[in-house]
Structure 1
């Protein structure tokens, strides 16, 4: 495996899929932790899969997924399927006890 550091800008434009092969969206931007490790903490997605998000993000630009939910990054970004359910649950119940790690943009 190539351990050469990559520029974070290479994430922008990559398609995001679940580990079951379901298209989720496209990376439009990244969220960074500038106070500590200067690591990527989230992915802002647009071009969302209408079947997954149409009822939840109507009129919104996209969603932000916590980067810890990413399983792999290559030509595409791969996330866990259970993550999709978590995101949809958090967006439909914003007053719940969930952390602010995902959001509607």
Structure 2
């Protein structure tokens, strides 16, 4: 994602949905690779309890890879997280963050 720092900060607070329309969470922070000047992940909070209750402690968030993002607008659409969470052995499994 290219753009000015001001444009990147507008992602914070946006709701994130799977491409099937399931609410996933809200963007709390952005993970950047400063060497490549690229967004590499989104830190989500206010998580959907149905998706994460058995995987994430209350009050914690998740870090999802930015490559899961399919569209950014009023909301952010990502690949179907539900299917990815059902395969914990997959390399792209979401990572817990404090």
Same fold flag (TM > 0.5) = yes
Bigger strand share: 2
Larger radius of gyration: 1
Distance 1:97 1:69 in 2: 14
Q: 1:84 aligns with which of 82, 85, 89?
A: 82
Alignment TM-score, normalising by the size of structure 2: 0.83
- Structure 2 stretches lacking a partner, 5+ long: none
Q: Secondary structure at the match of 1:57?
A: coil
Quote the Cα distance in structure 2 between the aligned partners of 1:53 and 1:88.
11
Aligned residues: 94
Aligned equivalents of 1:38, 1:55: Cα separation in 2: 34
Show the 5 A alignment for 1:17-96.
Answer: 17-35=17-35, 37-59=36-58, 61-81=60-80, 83-87=81-85, 89-90=87-88, 96=89
Scaled by the length of structure 1, what TM-score is found? 0.78
Consecutive unaligned residues in structure 1, runs of 5 or more: 91-95
